[in-house]
Amino acid sequence: MKSLTNKRILLGVSGSISAYKAPDIIRRLQDLGADVRVVLTSGGSKFITELSLQSISKNKVHYNLWDKEAELSMGHIELAKWADCILIAPASANIISNIASGKANDLLSSIVLASDAILMIAPAMNQQMYKASFLQNNLTLLKTNGASIITPDSGVQACGDIGLGRLPESSDIANQVADQFQTTQLSGKRVLISLGATVEAIDPVRFISNYSSGKMGMALVNTCIEMGAQVTCVYGNINTSLNYKATNIQALSAEQMYESILSQAHQYDLFIACAAVCDYAVKNPYEQKIKKNGENLTLELVPNKDILADVCKLEQKPLCIGFAAETQNTLKNAQLKLKNKSCEAIILNDVSTPEIGFNSDENQVVFISQKQQKNIAKNSKIKIAKNILEIFINEFL
């Protein structure tokens, strides 16, 4: 079954009578797991209402480039960054011409120019318009620049003509969108990923842990699966959904995570240590709940085993990517970690910044290896994961 789980699809609805199909396209994308937002052009609004699209998508519909409220936060730029894929369906001859010409005279064309997301265009128009050399030249130019064109269906059109130009079935469009995220870059590879926070017991009701949500690790899990890998996910305390296509193993404490990972790491091609493992555990956890008596309480902490370092020492070791969550001297500390752990790469994450720290939906990292140091700009964690893996694959696989 195809999937768009955790994918952000920006649907552009332009001026074609096929715009009436937009709500069903939204439904079919949602059925595959996508989060859908809609940009409605002025032409599109002649055929479908903002309210109907908002009701189905469960998100605000965007239509005005000059919306003062939205542009206070650079709304069109935020939408451009938000999207994993921009799908224009239906795409009129006018919007195709605007995008091919590099115009930014409305919200949708401005978003396309400002985004590095996958661009998919589903033309829908009169069969003679579709055959016109000007239109075909524009489509060829768009394909040359990386856009994917969804071929229209042939049949009886609203005007009574017969020929190519009908918008394909909504389910076909959704499936073609899902196909854009399936690659073979990790085909045949086995990947082991740790994620989330470990939990170190103090007594039966209290524990030591950290703010990690597991979102960055799960983005890596999802991306590795999309790239064709067989993935095992060893997770601690998380605030995100598991991917059922992975083999999921819960390991709440650092000791449990250590045993789970070290017992099987030699079977994998790549190990990504994304979990926020507590450096220390309580030496002697209390068997019963500690009762407050007004006196100070002293806990003796002992260091936990170093999972990444010990995996890197295995005789039959996988390639290893570690994460360095730092708050000060970030680059120096990450470079030192790369050297001390003897792993192939370290991903530096400055968690002192709230919007890219623990439990956020976005991140901004630095990929560090012996050969390179590459900044990955702030973006959604799924896009960050894709960038990390593409850089790593290019250098090591």
Q: Looking up tokens 């076909």, which residue turns up?
A: 172
Please check whether residue 346 is in contact with residue 322, taking contact to mean a CB–CB distance below 8 angstroms.
yes
Question: Residue 380 in 3-state DSSP?
Answer: strand
Neighbours of 354 (CB within 10 A): 9
The pair of three-digit structure tokens given for residue 168, joined into one six-digit string: 């394909």
CA 264 to chain centroid, in Å, comes to 27
> Sign of torsion, CA 48 49 54 56?
negative
Rounded CA-CA distance 67/270 in Å is 47
**CA atoms of 346 and 339, how far apart (whole Å):** 10
* C-beta separation of 120 from 90 below 8 A: no
Angle at which helices 93-100 and 133-144 pack, to 10 degrees?
Answer: 50
| Under 8 Å between Cβ of 278 and 208 | yes
Decide: 273 and 324 in contact? Cβ < 8 Å. Answer: no
How many other CB atoms sit within 10 Å of the CB of residue 130? 20
Helix axes 381-396, 215-226, angle to 10 degrees: 60
Please give the full DSSP string across 274-313, using - where no structure is assigned.
-SB--SEEESS--SSPPPP-SS-----EEEPP-HHHHHHT
Residues 289 and 239 sit within 8 Å (Cβ to Cβ): no
- Tell me which residues are annotated as active site: 159
Calpha distance 307→272 (Å, rounded): 11
The Cα–Cα gap between 190 and 364 comes to: 26
H-helix or E-strand spanning residue 367: strand 362-369
Is the separation of the CB atoms in 115 and 86 below 8 Å? yes
Look up residue 17 and give its DSSP letter.
G
